[in-house]
Chain A
Amino acid sequence: MKVLAALSGGVDSAVAASRMVEQGHDVTAVHLALARTHDGQVGSRGCCTPLDARDAKRVADVLGIPYYVWDFSERFKAEVIDDFIDEYASGHTPNPCVRCNENIKFAAVLERGLALGFDAIATGHHAQIKNESNQKQLYRSVDSAKDQSYVLSVLSAQQLSHSMFPLGDVTKTQVRAEAAAKGLLVAEKPESYDICFIPDNDTAGWLNKQIQPKVGQVIDAVTGSAIASHDGAHQFTVGQRRGLHLDRPASDGQPRYVFNVDTKTQTVFVGPETLLSVTRIFADRPKWTCGSAPEVGSEVYVQLRAHGEPLAAVVKQIDDQIEVELRLPTRSVAPGQTLALYDGNRVLGSGTITKSSR
């Protein structure tokens, strides 16, 4: 097959590309230029620095495959960075890696690849694809600590059918060993955990520069009274305890947590931990990676964060909205987060959380 291997400059994508070459595919490497800083330079760190581009190029040369840079920075800005800002400004908690996979890597890049004659895109994501009755199915990685199936749960079945994740059957430790054995000099490169377009990992500071600050009140839901003020509701996320700057302890002596953010009135609602507990989660924008929506009444697992625990749940509603009911309550569910649905280790699909309730 003609395979487009996305090379970030990191060890995972390098080994993924090398495995594609070994399997006999006709592989072309593409490095995506995504985040740009103000002076027009690409990236500050993470996955898009000039050094990463150089590492990616070196990997391609070692593998003996062509290497190109595709500049998707304009679309990345419009569909990932601006979306990230808008979501925070609306009091939501977005996951930019999910948006990047949904709108850039497995959409714009894949579409371009297909138009240019490639059959599939291969990335270094830790997830498995298995063929089941002529339909590709997405599974968790064998390395549960590194599993990235959550951020891939926004892929449609069509996108998945053109995707290859050659690292799903190995652990990160094995990936590093394989890179070293193959002479890929990125073997020891440190992990990149943070948001690639935010320098210094200072998300709050970065957001404060992007979002016009608006003063508002912090209201204690138990008493209904304002107990503090703040200078921007976007700085608060559901479940947050720190940084509330409460003037005095709550009347019941319990610590206070953010459990709702209303950016229309710039009001942050806080309450005791018990208010964070939810069992019903609602989501929109459903995507069915597995090919079709699960039936109402299905027993599933849901995951709410990239490395969150799978939670047992029952599907209560499936159409353009998803509603699930958790077997056991959970806490800190913020609108904007991705609700991923699993059947065991198999990804069914996902939606974007709109609200939750007890």
Chain B
Amino acid sequence: MAYLDHAATTTLLPEVKSLLIEQLGAALNPSSLHESGRKARQLVEEARERIAKALKIRPSEIYFTAGGTEADNVAIKGIHWARQRERRRPQLLISAVEHHAVLDPAQWLAERGEAELVLIPVDSIGRIDLEWLERKLEKDSESVSMISVMWANNEVGTVQPINEVVLLAAKFGIPVHSDAVQAIGTLPVDLSDIKLSALSASGHKIGAIHGVGFLMLRTGVKVDPILHGGNQERDVRSGTINAVGAQALALAVELVIRNQTENFNRISKLRDDLVKRVKSAVPDAVYNGDPINRLPGNAHFSFYGAEGDAMLMLLDAKGVQVSTGSACSVGIPQPSHVLIAMGLDPVRAKSSLRFSLGSTSDTSDIDFLISALPDVVSRARRAGMVSDTKVAAQV
């Protein structure tokens, strides 16, 4: 069996597993005023400090959430609402290749008439158009509420010029949020260098558990809450804080950041090997995304005329677990908005697979993939595209 879907979720780090076994079970509510409560608070605050240290920010800039999606929602809705209270500035500048956890809250605000969603275009490798952004801000920065550009793309792996975005936006005093769910631990993320206003992260993508994440909100950035209740996390995020989850998250953040260079080197080498062998096994496979500046574990290909879902099913039957893109879009196959934004035609977009490597990946996973892939691609090509019958017939 080969698990090549670490970008969807990755295995629990062994150290995190030991910590969970040790700490789970106690009654831990950090808001309680008794001894157990104090112990829980100690766990949460210590976790906050360790994450802050690893990312070179202040502990008070970390807000625990129930995951990346929630952090993205608070960032987009919360910052936008807070900015509107100062003055009306309706435009949300969102990169066209964002995860749905960012795009959909922005879309939701737009549909309610509370915002105008303006997509920042990307080039054919999925990198945002900085010149477009600069022209846009020079022309009309007064209308802009905030900018959101992901650190690195979850589907095609392309790393965005996030510092350039931050520097550009700073000239106009516009807050920048970045979804760094795929970047934490895989790329160098040093927030003392890069003055983002907000950043989202998720636990289960880095070997902590599901249901924990955090939002980094730089001191002074105002945000309206989306969850109301017990006023935890300084009113930004009500709800009993997951003390053990925070500890698991802190440990995972420390470990992946400490080992980032070493893991980057090992996994990107493995990935380069995968790419080379896929191209040799299926010579007409097209490698998507930035060929150089990309997530170390990401390899994304189009196999023209072979439906992604069909390849996924056939590979799954052979014990090879991959994805057609973001796991959230699985269900009814739609061409990925990321690939469409990059200018791929719908057939090529639907003929795509993402292979993503992680801490437990090794050469045997690639051997396994390569032994199955050529037959899978040719079989899927023979079956054609389900919905695009006319286009597929020409292939």
Task: Check if B384 sits within 8 Å of A42, measured CB to CB.
Answer: no
Task: Check if A73 sits within 8 Å of B313, measured CB to CB.
Answer: no
Task: Check if A115 sits within 8 Å of B383, measured CB to CB.
Answer: yes
Give the dominant DSSP class at A's interface. Answer: mixed
| Residue A75 CB within 8 A of the other chain | yes
Please give me the residue from chain B that is nearest to A113 by CB atom.
B383
Residue of B332, B380, B382 touching A69 (CB-CB under 8 A)? B332
Count of chain A residues with a beta carbon within 8 Å of a chain B beta carbon: 17
| Residue B236 CB within 8 A of the other chain | no
Assuming A66-B316, A116-B379, is B333 touching A73 (CB within 8 A)? no
Chain A residues within an 8 Å CB radius of B313: 28, 66, 68, 116
Task: Check if A116 sits within 8 Å of B310, measured CB to CB.
Answer: yes
Give the docked Cα–Cα distance between A117 and B376 (Å).
Answer: 10
Residue of A33, A69, A75 touching B389 (CB-CB under 8 A)? A75
| Residue B317 CB within 8 A of the other chain | yes
Please give me the residue from chain A that is nearest to B334 by CB atom.
A71
B314-330 vs A, CB cutoff 8 Å, 1 = contact: the mask equals 10110000000000000
Task: Check if A73 sits within 8 Å of B317, measured CB to CB.
Answer: no
| Residue B387 CB within 8 A of the other chain | yes
A179 to chain B, nearest CB (A): 24
Q: Which residues of B contact A (CB under 8 A)?
A: 309-310, 313-314, 316-317, 331-333, 379-380, 382-384, 386-389
B37 to chain A, nearest CB (A): 39
Task: Check if B389 sits within 8 Å of A74, measured CB to CB.
Answer: yes
Please give me the residue from chain A that is nearest to B310 by CB atom.
A116
Task: Check if A115 sits within 8 Å of B379, measured CB to CB.
Answer: yes
Give the docked Cα–Cα distance between A115 and B383 (Å).
Answer: 5
Of listed B331, B380, B387, residue having the most chain A CB within 10 A: B331
Assuming A66-B316, A71-B333, is B383 touching A112 (CB within 8 A)? yes
Give the docked Cα–Cα distance between A333 and B191 (Å).
Answer: 77
| Residue A85 CB within 8 A of the other chain | no
Task: Check if B317 sits within 8 Å of A66, measured CB to CB.
Answer: yes
Give the docked Cα–Cα distance between A66 and B313 (Å).
Answer: 8
A31-57 vs B, CB cutoff 8 Å, 1 = contact: the mask equals 001000000001000000000010000
Q: Which 9 A-B pairs have the closest CB atoms?
A: A115-B383, A74-B387, A116-B383, A115-B382, A71-B332, A33-B332, A112-B383, A71-B387, A68-B313
Task: Check if A53 sits within 8 Å of B314, measured CB to CB.
Answer: no
Chain A residues within an 8 Å CB radius of B386: 70-72, 75, 112
Assuming A71-B386, A74-B389, is B332 touching A117 (CB within 8 A)? no
Give the docked Cα–Cα distance between A53 and B316 (Å).
Answer: 20
Chain A residues within an 8 Å CB radius of B317: 28, 66
Give the docked Cα–Cα distance between A66 and B320 (Å).
Answer: 13
28 contacting pairs across A/B (C-beta < 8 A) = A28-B313, A28-B317, A66-B313, A68-B309, A68-B313, A69-B309, A69-B331, A69-B332, A69-B333, A70-B386, A71-B332, A72-B386, A72-B387, A73-B387, A74-B388, A74-B389, A75-B386, A75-B387, A75-B389, A112-B386, A115-B379, A115-B384, A116-B313, A116-B314, A116-B379, A116-B380, A117-B314, A117-B379
Give the docked Cα–Cα distance between A68 and B386 (Å).
Answer: 13
Chain A residues within an 8 Å CB radius of B382: 115
Of listed A33, A42, A73, A117, residue having the most chain B CB within 10 A: A117
Please give me the residue from chain B that is nearest to A66 by CB atom.
B316
Chain B residues within an 8 Å CB radius of A117: 314, 379
Chain B residues within an 8 Å CB radius of A112: 310, 383-384, 386
Chain A residues within an 8 Å CB radius of B387: 71-75
Please give me the residue from chain A that is nearest to B311 by CB atom.
A116
A17 to chain B, nearest CB (A): 16
Chain B residues within an 8 Å CB radius of A73: 387
Please give me the residue from chain B that is nearest to A30 by CB atom.
B313
Please give me the residue from chain B that is nearest to A41 by CB atom.
B332
A54-81 vs B, CB cutoff 8 Å, 1 = contact: the mask equals 0000000000001011111111000000
A7 to chain B, nearest CB (A): 14
B6 to chain A, nearest CB (A): 20
B331 to chain A, nearest CB (A): 6
Chain B residues within an 8 Å CB radius of A115: 379, 382-384
Give the docked Cα–Cα distance between A69 and B314 (Å).
Answer: 14
Give the docked Cα–Cα distance between A110 and B382 (Å).
Answer: 14
A154 to chain B, nearest CB (A): 21
